[in-house]
Chain A
Amino acid sequence: MTYISNLDRRSFLIGSASAVGGLSVGFNIPFGDGAAATETMPEVNAWVVVRPDETVIIRIARSEMGQGTLTGLAQLVAEELDCDWSKVTYEFPTPGENLARKRVWGEYLTAGSRGIRTSVELVSKGGAAARMMLVQAAADRWKVPASECVAANSVITHKASNRHTTYGKVAKAAAKVEPPKEIKLKDPKDWKIVGKSLKRLDTPDKTQGKTVYGIDIRLPGMLYAAIKACPVVGGKVKSFDAAKITSRKGVKKVVQVEGYAVAVVADSWWRAKTALDTLPIVWDEGDNAKVSSASIAAWLKEGLDVDQALVGNKGGDVKAALASSAKKVEAVYAYPYQNHAPMEVMNATARYTADKCEVWCSTQNGEAALATTSEASGLPVPKCEVYKTFLGGGFGRRSTSHDYVRQAVLIAKEVPGTPVKLLWSREEDMTQGWYHPVTQCKIVAGFDANNNLTGIHYRISGQSILATVAPARMQEGRDPATFSGFYAGGAEAAFGYSIPNILVDHSMRNPHIRPAFWRGVNINHNAIYIECFMDELAKEVGVDALEFRRKLMEKHPKHLAVLNAVAEKAGWGKPAPAGIHRGLAQAMAFGSYVAACAEVSVDGKKVKIHRIVAATDPGHAVNPAQIDRQVAGSFVYGLTGLFLGGCTVKDGRIEQENFDTYEMMRIKEMPKVETILMPSGGFWGGVGEPTICVAAPAVLNAIAAATGTRYRTFPLRDHGLTLV
């Protein structure tokens, strides 16, 4: 047992001392409410612990990175548990514990706006089972059938005898009740906790500096590491002169990490970092050093016209339709690299011994972090553990790659028994990222003599995320995710227009700059290609952008409903205030239907976004207030990339190193965001990402309306446009 005393009330136990009833191994949750560290109450089931003081601890497997999943999942459990929400707190079970318990908490991956929508049944059943066991325990005590007892707000009542008890009083007995085999979940119309704008469970700590992120881990005797990888990905360390820095104060060790990086271990991070800054390192940068943004763009451009391509959506005969069209319209768009730049840079703390390796880190996928820990340490998974903290942002960076965990473990192996916190500098974070992929898209559309749209060919050329990050998910050499938003149907990201002849295909070209899932992922650029070009087509035939879409959307009622909703609220078709111009966009993304109407004014090269009306149909809404915040935040992320972002490549390396050259939207640029939440029921869509996909096209369409200029390459700062 190790007691860590400097984490305020979050002092936590590591080891087996907190083993609780019903569990064979030490079950402890180092983060969360913290009080759980000394938990002695048996769990009712894997999801729920109720203390004698009526506190309800709900266990949350998915990661909390700002998106509010922690609170939303707790609401789902509490709903079926019928507990007193004011008594709810939380803890994060470790991925090692999950494996030891046959993955009782299911999947840990928190990405793709799936945190809630793919957990609903599992966590709801967990809450319902716990309620049934608590009720059974009360019924057993009263010697009455459980069917005669009802539970509400943590109180169990037997009406016939007018007896009451509470969850806290029967929790110990409930832990011994046989778990129910059949569980019936509530009808959504009976929800009392789900669907309410309840306050987040993690807010008070976050306003007082108490929340523990990966970067905040402190362990007894801990050392610190700074790292520098070859600035050209794929390059190697040729040599470095460790003797130049080993005598510096506090420096303990200079370590080469695999073939590509050098780390300095010291007694403080600042000493490690400043020593590393002065360490002479000679790199073998390899052939990738010849690559530039221009060379990548030229390579992608070739892909726009090659004959062979991977097909994502095909209907009718687009070649024939275009060949026989009365009028053709053509455009080429492109979307650049983007860094995730979460506010918390990559970091992990590792402690390695010959028979145990532990890691503390921010991760979007605790189980992947655990697998990485095992691989890097060379120890089998049961001898490894990962303690998840809160995340200072994820946005896909902490699900795409656990390179930072691997590095931390490899460095910790050099100082066995001593915990080491590896922290990347912002510069390392910006230049060693996994970036939103680069693509170009050539679009050719045909109209007949009556201005009816007869066919569109979308040719995407560029990078595949899965080819690099998850090759096992490729389908016969094709990356299905490349076509997100273009799918012919399905529940995830279906194309919302009926076009008689359509072809969407992909010429895959993978530069060495590594691609990643970046909030919104492929639909960020695909929605620009679809929705901006849709406006171009409407303009070509002189039809209002909304009317033009409506005609093609008759068979896509849910897509159309959100589009109509934003048009109506924004006042589409009615005169806008003087100088203000509107733009529309819609998409289906991550299982939800979304649309936006942006209002902008343009003064010379200065763009002001005044207002964005955004609609989301996620099927069901767990916490409307949090959905509102996700929608508003998604516009900040998407529009930052559109106006200010864009990572460029020179001599094989990313040029932007910090927020002075990779700028961020700040409060002064924030438009007023008005959210329309219109859950239509019957399905579960995501929330964290969908609206980011309509942010850029809606604003671009408004800028085109304001200026008559259609921008097709980004960021907009390359065109001299500034956001004011």
Chain B
Amino acid sequence: MARLTINGKSHNVDVEPDTPLLWAIRDTIGMTGTKYGCGIAQCGACTVHIDGAATRSCSVQVSDAVGKKITTIEGLAHNGVLHKVQKAWIDNDVPQCGYCQSGMIMAVAAFLKQNPNPTDADIDREITNICRCGTYQQVRTAIHAVAKA
């Protein structure tokens, strides 16, 4: 039994300690906004924040997440107010199928906290999530929109 703190709430999860955090979040706790894409930290669909840092939860063991502050897409809004990245995503109609966008938004939210006014080169270097629909043009536009707001 491991105790995880997710979006400010404590959860006891009965999983093997080496279970990827992703599967504890999705299947054990039942929060399905965080997605499985590859299982090898390539695509970023499973991105969550661990102590504020964007992290690919498919490649973090539950035992390593104990005692840390985990935020998922469900916890990004604050007191019912959407995060500025979520708002920009809506304003720019970024998602297509939307499956990768939980991870994309989490990656961008952490990135913009570190770098509130990024250049295109910064975005190219730091945003490496895969989107098969190819929303990259809208993602870039929306990131700049957040920075300008």
Contact = CB atoms under 8 A, between A and B. Distances in A.
Interface of A: 6, 64-68, 199-200, 202-213, 215-216, 218, 224, 249, 268-271, 341-345, 390-395, 423, 425-426, 625-626, 629, 632-637, 658-660, 664-668, 670, 672-673
A666 B44 CA distance: 11
B82 interface: yes
Contacts of A207: 82, 86, 89-90, 94-95, 101, 105
B contact patch SS: loop
A344 B23 CA distance: 15
User: What 6 A-B pairs come out closest when comparing CB atoms?
Assistant: A209-B33, A636-B134, A392-B99, A66-B97, A206-B98, A66-B96
B32 A218 contact: yes
Interface of B: 15-16, 19-20, 23, 27-28, 30-40, 42-43, 45, 72-74, 76-77, 82, 86, 89-90, 93-102, 105, 123-125, 127-140
A555 B104 CA distance: 47
A199 B124 CA distance: 27
Given A268-B23, A270-B15, A667-B139, A203 B132 contact: no
B62 to A, nearest CB: 10
B97 A635 contact: no
A190 to B, nearest CB: 26
B20 A659 contact: no
A209 B34 contact: yes
B134 A633 contact: yes
Given A68-B96, A208-B33, A343-B100, A659 B130 contact: yes
Contact of B90 (A203, A212, A271, A665): A203
Given A209-B72, A343-B130, A666-B130, A268 B15 contact: yes
A665 B134 contact: yes
Interface centre among B15, B73, B82, B93 (most CB of A within 10 A): B93
B18 to A, nearest CB: 9
Nearest to A392: B99
Nearest to B103: A343
Given A270-B15, A270-B20, A270-B27, A206 B95 contact: yes
A213 B99 contact: yes
Nearest to B39: A426
A125 to B, nearest CB: 28
A421 to B, nearest CB: 9
Contacts of A390: 97-98
Given A67-B96, A213-B99, A270-B23, A208 B38 contact: no
A666 B97 contact: no
Nearest to B101: A206
A343 B137 contact: no
Nearest to B27: A268
Contacts of A212: 32
Contacts of A209: 31-34, 72-74, 102
Contacts of B99: 213, 342-344, 392-393
Contacts of A425: 39
B72 to A, nearest CB: 7
Nearest to A673: B137
A65 B97 contact: yes
B146 to A, nearest CB: 13
B86 A208 contact: yes
A277 to B, nearest CB: 11
Nearest to B45: A343
11 contacts: A203-B94, A208-B82, A213-B99, A215-B35, A249-B16, A268-B23, A393-B97, A636-B133, A637-B133, A659-B130, A666-B136
A204 B124 CA distance: 26
B30 A218 contact: yes
Contacts of B23: 268-270
A209 B40 CA distance: 21
Interface centre among B19, B32, B77, B132 (most CB of A within 10 A): B132
A209 B36 CA distance: 13
Contact of B35 (A202, A271, A344, A391): A344
Contacts of B125: 668
Contacts of B37: 343, 345, 426, 659
A285 to B, nearest CB: 25
A370 B5 CA distance: 41
Contacts of A203: 89-90, 93-95, 98
B15 A634 contact: no
Nearest to A198: B93
Contact of B134 (A64, A65, A634): A634
A720 to B, nearest CB: 22
A614 to B, nearest CB: 12
Given A6-B30, A207-B95, A632-B138, 4 more contacts: A68-B96, A215-B35, A392-B100, A426-B36
Contacts of B33: 208-210
Contact of A658 (B19, B40, B136, B139): B40
A143 B91 CA distance: 45
A660 B133 contact: no
A672 B130 contact: no
Contacts of A66: 95-98, 133
A660 B42 CA distance: 7
A392 B97 contact: yes
Contact of B27 (A208, A224, A341, A342): A224
Contacts of B16: 249, 271
A64 B19 CA distance: 32
Contacts of A206: 89, 95, 98, 101
Contacts of A68: 96
A476 to B, nearest CB: 37
A433 to B, nearest CB: 14
Nearest to B42: A659
